[in-house]
Amino acid sequence: MDVLSESDGRSLAGVPWLVADVVLYLAAIALFVVGVITESGPWVVISIVVIVAAIAISLSFYMVQPNKAAVLTLFGDYRGSDRTAGLRVANPFYLNRKVSLRVRNFTTVTSKVNDANGNPIDIAAVVVWRVTDTARAVFGVDDFTNYVHTQSESAVRQLARSYPYDAFDDTEVTTLIGDTSEVNQDLMVELQERVAEAGVEITEARITDLAYAPEIAEAMLRRQQASAIVAARAKIVEGAVLMVREAIEALEEGTEEHDSIPLDSDRKATFASNLMTVIASDQPTNPVVNVGTLSR
């Protein structure tokens, strides 16, 4: 099937023709008056011909607003599109349909979809688009505005099924919540492929609403909190180990003013255990005074 593409329609600037049309109306009136006064039939006939020509020119006028186009058809046959703003004149038998070329945007309905992991999520996106091929927009699909809206809803749903909402500890997996730039770019590419038949260009597409569905939101929040706590505890332990190691090394090396304190393996283990408890504990520690020796 041949794909119909936009072409330039044959039209002219309307202002000169408007002046000529006014002149023809005045001339037709003058000729008719002369014919009646002189009782001359040919003058009356000429006036009728002139008035018919003036009416035909009047029917040929149409107006094109800035950032709009007129799609011209003749008895169902596409004859081109006129993007020139202002008063225009073309074949009086042409039918013209105005198509806006301005940038439009809308937000999709928030949909509940299962992500790549099967978790239900609520997702919506904003789509910015404009018509670039008026012939495809008018003749390629039945209603290009409704077509873009429907395809956008479908593309958002497909996108949600392609990525997990969150990968938690797996940083190499692309996620909806963590890789917004990549996800938005994929959405834009997917949308452009879908609406190309309608002569539409997608200038921007981005997710605006993204959350777990209410039925699992609380459970997923607890999981995220648990992951955050585990990560925080791991960081605390890592720091505590470093502090204990440095403390033992400082005791054994001593300083210029203080002698070193040698520690055997048992004393190092006891010292490390006590210091780790103090640093890594969630609760304040209570000191215990040892009145004996470390070996008892």
Question: Are 113 and 192 within one domain?
Answer: yes
CATH code where residue 128 lies: 3.30.479.30
For residue range 102-138, what is the model confidence (pLDDT) as tens digits?
999 999 999 888 888 888 889 999 999 999 999 999 9
| pLDDT in the model for residue 296 | 46
Tell me: do 131 and 91 sit in the same domain: no
Query: How many independent structural domains does the chain possess?
Result: 3
User: Residue 280 in 3-state DSSP?
Assistant: helix
Whether pTM > 0.95 for this model: the answer is no
Q: Domain end: 56, 83, 99, which one?
A: 99
How many Å apart are CA 269 and CA 281, to the nearest integer? 17
Q: What's the rounded mean pLDDT across residues 146-155? A: 94
Closest CA to 150 of 213, 209, 197, 102: 197
Q: What is the pLDDT of residue 158?
A: 92
Tens digit of each residue's pLDDT (9 = 90 or more) over 42-78: 888 998 999 999 999 999 999 999 999 999 999 989 9
Confidence of residue 283 (pLDDT cuts 50, 70, 90): low
Whether 202 and 226 map to the same domain: the answer is: no
Confidence band (pLDDT; 50, 70, 90) for 39? confident
pLDDT at 92 over 80: yes
| The two three-digit tokens of residue 86, written as one number | 């202002």
| In a domain? residue 158 | yes
Containing 82, the helix (H) or strand (E) segment is strand 77-82
- Of 99, 131, 151, the domain-final residue: 99
125 lies in the same domain as 195: yes
| 168 and 205 share one domain | yes
For residue 50, what are the domain limits?
12-99
pLDDT at 220: 62
- Residues 184-203 have a mean pLDDT of 93
The CA-CA-CA angle for residues 33, 39, 40, to 5°, reads 90
3 state DSSP class of 139: helix
Q: What is the pLDDT of residue 244?
A: 77
User: Between residues 173 and 280, which one has the greater pLDDT?
Assistant: 173
Is 247 found in the same domain as 227? yes
* 173 and 92 inside one domain: no
Q: Is residue 293 part of a domain?
A: no
